[in-house]
Amino acid sequence: MKAEEFSLKYPTLQPDGAVVESQLNREIAATLVRLPDDPSLYFDLSEPHLLIPLEQLVNARARERGIVNANRHMLAAAKGNQEKRKPLTVQSLGNELWLVVDGNSTLLNARHSRWRAIPCCTR
């Protein structure tokens, strides 16, 4: 599948509590560098955390500028040019789903890069 044919769809939480499918803007996706599936490159894993499969995570929002900035920060962290970020903060939605409270743009980069799981802390 060519990159331009790839259309990233992901679950988001609506204000009414419904989980619906959203789609990443193709122009934004085209600017993102694919990141190797190795969370230790991007995250400070010194604190207790869970590796949660991406299919169990629901985005609270998607800000285009935030997604691009997260990609740049994750690349810099992987190269040792800036500190690694803390794991995502999530809260349970029930039914084995987790809402991302902090780290939505980071999650979208992981989704774009087709990771299997991402480090999270629950609240």
Query: What residue ranges define each of the domains in the chain, with the CATH number in brackets?
Result: 3-122 (3.90.1530.10)
Is the separation of the CB atoms in 12 and 79 below 8 Å? no
Q: How confident is the model at residue 28 (pLDDT cuts 50, 70, 90)?
A: very high
pTM of the full predicted structure? 0.92
Q: What is the mean pLDDT of residues 34-62?
A: 97
Reported as a single tens digit per residue, the pLDDT across 65-120 is: 999 999 999 999 999 999 999 999 999 999 899 999 999 999 999 999 999 999 99
Q: What is the mean pLDDT of residues 31-52?
A: 97
Tracing tokens 């044919």 back to the chain, one arrives at: 5
Tracing tokens 């193709």 back to the chain, one arrives at: 26
Q: What's the one-letter identity of residue 50?
A: L
